[in-house]
Chain A
Amino acid sequence: GAVVSQHPSRVICKSGTSVKIECRSLDFQATTMFWYRQFPKQSLMLMATSNEGSKATYEQGVEKDKFLINHASLTLSTLTVTSAHPEDSSFYICSASRQGADQPQHFGDGTRLSIL
């Protein structure tokens, strides 16, 4: 149990394009979902926390208008990188957890975003 699916796994697009990444919890209801960014050979940087039906909470330094997060249901959260530029190229990973601080996060397989 606790499977999280992230799609697409890889995106290559031109500068100025908006890109949407989906994160789905396949076999459980995810009260909270998280979006991370990971630079090569580095740890995960939390970008934002989203709770179903409410606005996402962004970490300091993360542009809300650049990285739009929607968590419309208990099984789906989306991250849209708006007007992407080469500096937005990165590995983006989502995670989901059930309700409760003792519930572990379960991670998707990540999305490799490359902006040309």
Chain B
Amino acid sequence: AQSVTQPDIHITVSEGASLELRCNYSYGATPYLFWYVQSPGQGLQLLLKYFSGDTLVQGIKGFEAEFKRSQSSFNLRKPSVHWSDAAEYFCAVGAGTYKYIFGTGTRLKVLA
């Protein structure tokens, strides 16, 4: 069955520290992978996407993610977190017919 797992429900980091949000997927074919960010009461903004090619993808706001097929992972990273990065982060897999499977989300808290 197709699924997306974000093991960490909450993560707290200090401003300026590095960040890694985990995402594991289960999908039979080569996946399309996405990371979105959601601020409270708002929609989702696309951070980055992976379709093929270079497994390290760069996104907006200084985020990057690395696709590791052997580990079925697509972890999101940022070298130095800013207070404005506090939000909910969703990993998603393109499941064919244009539909997404979303993870349950990771809520990021940033300490000043």
Chain A interface size, as a band, is 20 to 34
Are A107 and B94 within 8 A (Cβ)? no
Which chain A positions have C-beta within 8 A of B27?
A: none
Which chain A positions have C-beta within 8 A of B42?
A: 109-110
Q: Is B46 part of the contact surface with A, judged by Cβ < 8 Å? A: yes
A107 to B88, CA, bound (A): 15
> Which residues of B from 82 to 102 have beta carbons under 8 Å from A?
90, 94, 96-100, 102
Which chain A positions have C-beta within 8 A of B51?
A: 102
Tell me the count of chain B residues lying within 8 A, CB to CB, of chain A.
Answer: 23
Which chain B positions have C-beta within 8 A of A110?
A: 41-43
A112 to chain B, nearest CB (A): 7
Which chain B positions have C-beta within 8 A of A12?
A: none
Q: Is A44 part of the contact surface with B, judged by Cβ < 8 Å? A: yes
Those 5 A-B pairs whose CB atoms lie nearest each other, nearest first? A107-B43, A107-B44, A109-B43, A43-B104, A43-B102
Residues of B that sit less than 8 Å from A by CB = 32, 34, 36, 41-46, 49, 51, 90, 94, 96-100, 102-105, 107
Given A43-B90, A101-B97, A105-B34, 20 more A-B residue pairs with CB atoms under 8 Å apart are: A6-B43, A32-B98, A34-B100, A41-B107, A43-B102, A43-B105, A44-B90, A44-B102, A46-B99, A93-B44, A95-B43, A95-B44, A102-B51, A103-B98, A104-B34, A104-B46, A105-B98, A105-B100, A108-B43, A110-B41
